[in-house]
Chain A
Amino acid sequence: MAIHPPPQRIWWNEPIARTEIVWIVIAFLWGLLMFSAMIYWHMEGEQNLSNESYRITPERFAEKANEMVEKYQVREEAGFPVVRPPPGSDVYMIARLWQWWPIIEFEKDQTYRLHLSSMDWQHGFSLQPVNINLQVHPNYDMVVTLTPNEAGEYGVVCNEFCGIGHHTMIGKIYVTEN
């Protein structure tokens, strides 16, 4: 028996078992792959969130939306104007307690620049049943360039809590065949 006490064991000097090393390497590579997947999708994927957004006052945003409605309104539905803006144009949707305003009509396979902003609190733009979900802030104009690829009637549900009428905050988007 040695007459010296065993050296104090410190955790970072301990050996690592083979099974553990294998798993560390696999898990690390998987992490790298998942990290790269997000970058890859920005280059090759078709569903990416834009980095385009601007500061804007609620008043200015409402003005722009009103201009659009005056220009492109085609009919009215349940007290909401229905607008049919030309493909490629800037389309404004106002989020406010408790409405998505106005109703918008898109043409299938055409691209639009959809602007979203809130007049008051935060809201959640949830396009159903497609299930595209975006956060809408006051004072930020978020621009999403989208291409509806299927005709039909869609709901815009609010999915950020915005007070007692939150559940009534439902809007509409139509996509028509060209």
Chain B
Amino acid sequence: MPTFKHRVCPATGLRIHSSAENLIKANAVTAIIFLAVGGLFGLMVALTRWPAVHLLPADWFYLVLTGHGLDVLLVWIIFFEIAVLYFASAILLNSRLAAPRWAWTGFALMLIGAVMTNVAVLQGNSSVMFTSYVPMQAAPHFYLGLILFAVGALIGCFVFFGTLVIAKEEKTYEGSVPLVTFGAITAAIIAVFTIASGAIILVPTFLWSLGWIGNIDTLMYKTVWWAMGHSSQQINVSAHVAIWYLIAAVVLGAKPLSEKVSRMAFLMYILFLQLASAHHLLVEPGISSEWKIFNTSYALYLAVLGSMLHGMTVPGSIEAAQRARGYTNGLFEWLRKAPWGNPAFSGMFMSLVMFGFLGGISGVVLGTEQINLIMHNTIYVPGHFHATVVAGTTLAFMAGTYLLVPLIFQRELIMKGLAKWQPYVFGLGVMGISVFMMGAGTLGVPRRVWDITGADAALKYDYSGAAYLMMGLNGISAIMAALGGFLFIVIIVGSVLFGKRTGDKPLEGLTMTTATKYGSAESIRIPGTVVLVAVFFTSFVLYYFINWKYLAEVWPLR
């Protein structure tokens, strides 16, 4: 075994490389700072879109909305994902991190890029939305910041791959890598594709903003931009599914039902998720229906198949572990007696349920070629992706952070009583946001618009009272989610700074041995999960056909 500067983890006996640990801390802390900023922007957006409140003037609204998308969808998530990659490689594989200096360089580039783009947005001449569709133009440093950020993230991915190579060569683990690491590999591979697409489109756009390139085709821009924009959401899916497995393993000692199925499901993501650029092009001119159908369905819905498999195997692995602990009565004793007071577990389970029921189902419906006609660019779209990216990814990452505090920061949580409540407050708030935005979208309310009353427009259109009600409820839900987010930041930052040091005590209630090892569950009696999956599938089928029905009622067009 090679030597490197490390400490021995009291929970696992694994060696924790000091550089890896510091990098995980730096990336996670930076992520959380941007979550705070982006979350505050989000609250202001929701309060402006609440017609009775209408907080900001138009120019500030579009500025803040651009910053919101940028800081939470990109910066918070990618910084946290880099922390996840280093954790899933160096820590779980008992290895040193490859090239820590490169890792710090990547971190610095990401930070400089994120700050640069934020400055561009705050200066007020880059309110082009996160998507920055041409020919609307932002300041050159808006694009340059994004490019630097992407290069930094790419370096992070290669440090991760390098660490895998080192761990294998130095034989720090045996057999296949653990499932969580496998999920992280999936995320990193998709990230490389994503960043390459980003470079292909952002570099010319940057040159265009400098005046060196005359024209960028709008349709080409959108097609390539979304190969980055949507694929980056698939990094999130892979990463947060990996975190679901991690939390199930650490909190309950859960093993996957079968390593083969869970890994196949991750593999589906690598093979098919990148086709999702099409989801944003379904009502675009100049693209054939054949292309749209094949791509929007991820080739026969094979990536959806991957998610549906995780939807069974994650709760299934929890059920199997709980039954092995003796919670065998009836269908759901395993679920009732789950550690609902542990924010890592409750956050993870809510993330799982809301990602599946709200985000997954609405995503497939929204991504159906013809049904997209009755939803495209309405506020249904942000309703959908707040279920996937906020209720799914962000909540899972929050839950994961509750494990990082003792394991990596070596601190006990402060305000444990409030911490118990935090995932519920945030989760329910986000659920409201998603549901009410989707509701308003089906009533035709557009996304990304400052005012829907048409007060200063030459011609008017009046939305129904129900639409206004939905936007108000969305505002109230956003306040609740913001409160949950605020609690999270206070608890985590407070714990990291002032929490009691855990020292060399073994960590209470955490078992790391399962997460770091390969192996399937011994017994897989999961009747409760089968019922849950049946409920999910029924909802899916019903909601899917209801929307075909809605579509069939609009004006015939061809």
Contact = CB atoms under 8 A, between A and B. Distances in A.
A binds B: yes
Interface of A: 8-17, 19-20, 23-24, 26-28, 30-32, 34-35, 37-39, 41-42, 45-51, 53, 77-80, 99, 103, 116, 120-122, 124, 126-135, 137-142, 144-150, 155-164, 166-172
A167 B464 contact: no
Interface of B: 58-59, 62, 129, 133, 135-136, 174-176, 182, 217-219, 257-261, 263, 282-286, 288-289, 293, 297, 300-302, 304-305, 308-309, 312-313, 316, 364, 368-370, 372-378, 442-444, 446-452, 454, 456-464, 518-520, 524, 526, 530, 533, 537, 540-541, 544, 548, 551-552, 554-558
Given A80-B459, A164-B62, A10 B556 contact: no
Contact of B368 (A14, A30, A37): A37
Contacts of B217: 139
A148 B555 CA distance: 5
Given A133-B373, A159-B446, A121 B136 contact: yes
Contacts of B316: 19
A27 B534 CA distance: 11
Say what secondary structure dominates the interface of chain B: loop
A95 B108 CA distance: 43
Say what secondary structure dominates the interface of chain A: mixed
A158 B304 CA distance: 31
Contacts of A172: 459
Contacts of A131: 374-375, 378, 442-444, 554
Nearest to A12: B260
Contacts of B462: 155
A20 B458 CA distance: 59
A156 B457 CA distance: 12
A66 to B, nearest CB: 19
Nearest to B297: A35
A30 to B, nearest CB: 8
Contacts of A116: 285
A161 B59 CA distance: 12
B323 to A, nearest CB: 13
Nearest to B179: A11
A11 B289 contact: no
B263 A11 contact: yes
Given A141-B285, A147-B555, 17 more contacts: A8-B174, A15-B258, A19-B524, A20-B309, A26-B537, A30-B540, A47-B551, A122-B218, A124-B377, A126-B444, A133-B373, A133-B376, A135-B283, A135-B377, A139-B217, A161-B136, A164-B58
